[in-house]
Amino acid sequence: MRRTPLGKDQILVGPYATLLLVEPSSTDWPDLSELAENGLALLVPTGQMPAATPKARLEMEPHGHPALVRRLGHLFWYKLGVELPDVLTLALSSPSQSIADALAGGGLGDIDLDAVACLCVPLWAIPVADRQAVAALCQHP
């Protein structure tokens, strides 16, 4: 909940995105069937976030935030090693593709995930109409 600009009322604000830890070489993905409409789940390789992470709020709609593509565009505006520390953005096209597979397929198989942060978007959990735009946003430099 958040106060309105005049401070009299409370408005519901949902999650901007949800970060989920995954093993980079595995395709044992978290269950995204409960992901709310326009919800945004980002997969992060284990070891890149603290062990204690907030509970995933997949079912909560992103009330009070822009559309999914605009939110992702805002997050991915800053690219690898330019304006922010190294953050690699990847689109995972299929649940049968691991993060390691996607990196190798993009010629980045030798990247050290202990040195370079990685945010991955599972395209299968994105509405079909938005997948092309999301994949374009995930183009790593």
Q: Where are the domains of the chain?
A: 14-137
Two tokens at 98?
């691991």
Q: 3-state DSSP call for residue 72?
A: helix
How sure is the predictor about 77, in pLDDT bands with cuts at 50, 70 and 90? confident
Quote the pLDDT of residue 10: 76
Two tokens at 74?
């805002």
Contacts of 108 (CB under 8 A, 6+ apart): 88, 140
| 7-37 pLDDT, tens digit each | 677 777 788 899 999 999 999 999 999 999 9
pTM of the prediction? 0.84
CB atoms within 10 A of CB 93: 16
How sure is the predictor about 133, in pLDDT bands with cuts at 50, 70 and 90? very high
Closest CA to 88 of 67, 102, 71, 69: 102
CB atoms within 10 A of CB 2: 11
Measured between alpha carbons, how far is 42 from 19 in angstroms, rounded to an integer? Answer: 5
The pLDDT mean for the chain works out to 85
